[in-house]
Amino acid sequence: MAGIDAVIFDFIGTLTDLVGYSLEKSEEKLFRSLEAAGYAVSQKRFFEAYDQAHQKYRKIRYEKLVEVTNAVWVSEALDLLGYSATPEDEKVKTAVNVFFEDYVMALRLRPFAKSTLQKLSQSYRLGLVTNFTYAPAIYAALRKLKINDHFSTIIVSEEVGWRKPSRKIFVEALSRMRVKAERVVFVGDTPLEDISGARRLGMKTIFIPSQFKSLSDMEMADEQPDYYIRKVSDILSILRAQRS
């Protein structure tokens, strides 16, 4: 693609599939970790408080595009149950780590993802921008999948405080990569967070359907991507065609 210096990817869905994951099991492990740490409360009461806190911050995250980490609503749930807890408490941090263990292990690279990243990294700067409430889980997953070294810049919403499609998280990525928006291609699987968010800054966009968002989801969206692909390796042919 003529005049392109960098390719930025979304992570979950775009480069990875989530295989065999059970949210219920992760929540059970979260509760058991807190129980073992000395928080004596029934599972039913805990999850009532947890759901209350989670919904409160979910509204903030999706309406204000401000990212909030899991430790905040776990500690708030404990506060609602009469305990004095903060997101910085080691017991809370340990429980959140336990919660994400199965999620990290359930992530699998999509076909041709690693080889495509290897080839792209020879000609372009690569970045990763992902919405996720717990940055250590993303870094652990990148190491497990052995693709972390391909990216010059990795931005997780929990670290910067803003979620896609907020302009601020994209601007942060461009700043760190020292590249102009018009010289970037953004690859993602969500019509709003990835495609619309990147296009509003002037990036070229490539949509790839995933287990989370379908081709129909993208076709019904208000803003359309510059290109559609069905597998990760299709990016290579698009870039080659545009450079010739």
For residue 69, which of 135, 16, 155 has the smallest C-alpha distance? 135
The strand pair at 153-156 and 125-130 is best described as: parallel
Domain 6-20+107-243 classification at class level: alpha beta
Domain ranges of the chain: 6-20+107-243, 23-105
pLDDT of residue 240: 85
Structure tokens at 10: 């979304």
Which positions ≥6 away from 132 have C-beta within 8 Å? 11, 12, 138, 156, 157, 158
- Answer whether the bond into residue 209 is a cis peptide, omega within 30°: no
pTM for the full model?
0.95
pLDDT value of position 197: 96
Please name the residue that has the structure tokens 């379908």: 214
Cα 127 from Cα 155, distance rounded (Å): 8
pLDDT of the chain along its 244 residues, tens only?
568 999 999 999 999 999 999 999 999 999 999 999 999 999 999 999 999 999 999 999 999 999 999 999 999 999 999 999 999 999 999 999 999 999 999 999 999 999 999 999 999 999 999 999 999 999 999 999 999 999 999 999 999 999 999 999 999 999 999 999 999 999 999 999 999 999 999 999 999 999 999 999 999 998 999 999 999 999 999 998 876 5
Specify the pLDDT at position 244: 54
* Cα distance between residue 92 and residue 156, in whole Å: 20
- 77: tokens are 């749930």
